[in-house]
Amino acid sequence: MFLLYTTAGILTIIILIFAIPVGVELDYNSQTKYKSSTRIRWLFGLVNFKTSNANTTTRSKSTEIHSKSGKRKKTNVFKFSDTLLTLIKSRGFVKRVFKLVRDFLTVADIRHFRCYLGVGLDDPADTGQIYGMLSPISVFLHAYPQINFSFIPLFDRETFESKLNIELKIIPVKIIWVFLRFIFSRESLRAVFAVIKVSLK
């Protein structure tokens, strides 16, 4: 019985700690030297730290690499394109992502949220298809004045560009629950299995 009470007490303390709001500031830009900086304030200021990561990669003029035989090698961007297409085409996944965004906005206190995504795939037709499927999320986010979200299709090159500037407060236990529901949803698991199947080919 003592062990049961002790375990229940420890779990209660953990839940109470994770019920304390966390202040998060995030600045990210894939195209600059200093790629990201993050600041987190938690436990009424007892936890207060900031990190900064430099971008050690050099952006090339073209993401397409050709071998001596003339055949294109798969770059990291190309592999990302394959993965993104597989996820988008998986049945119900886009709708589940839409629900994730809605649930996140419900539990998070957003001060400001600025996000830019520039996506260009190997085939311009695939780029247009992804834009068409994800644009409803952009329209939905425009209803929130504190959110500035833009998703731009780039038809002239294969690339993934992103800029993100966020300041918000979250309650960890609520956010964890939201993402656990997303990760273990039927649609997400189906999409993951589809990506694994494609990667093994």
pTM of the model: 0.70
pLDDT band at 198 (very low <50, low <70, confident <90, very high): confident
Q: Which of 11-15, 39-43, 91-95, 141-145 has the largest mean confidence?
A: 91-95
pLDDT band at 80 (very low <50, low <70, confident <90, very high): low
Of the candidates 100, 103, 102, 109, the one whose C-alpha atom is nearest the C-alpha of residue 171 is 109
Mean pLDDT of the chain: 79
| Residue predicted with more confidence, 110 or 43 | 110
The per-residue DSSP string of 135-192 comes to HHHHHHHTTSTTEEEEEEE-TTS-EEEEEEEEEEEE-HHHHHHHHHHHHTSHHHHHHH
The per-residue DSSP string of 14-75 comes to HHHHTTS-EEEEEEEETTSSEEEEEEEEETTTTEEEEEEEE------S-S-EE-TTSPEE--
pLDDT digits (tens, 9 = 90+) for 24-71: 888 888 877 667 888 888 877 777 878 877 665 544 444 443 444 444
CA separation for the pair 76, 68 (Å, rounded): 19
Q: Please name every residue paired with 73 in a beta bridge, in sequence order, or none if there are none.
A: 65
| Residue predicted with more confidence, 169 or 43 | 169
Q: Please name every residue paired with 26 in a beta bridge, in sequence order, or none if there are none.
A: 38, 166
CA separation for the pair 177, 154 (Å, rounded): 35
Q: Is the pLDDT of residue 153 over 80?
A: yes
Q: What is the pLDDT of residue 180?
A: 93
Q: Which of 74-78, 128-132, 177-181 has the largest mean confidence?
A: 177-181
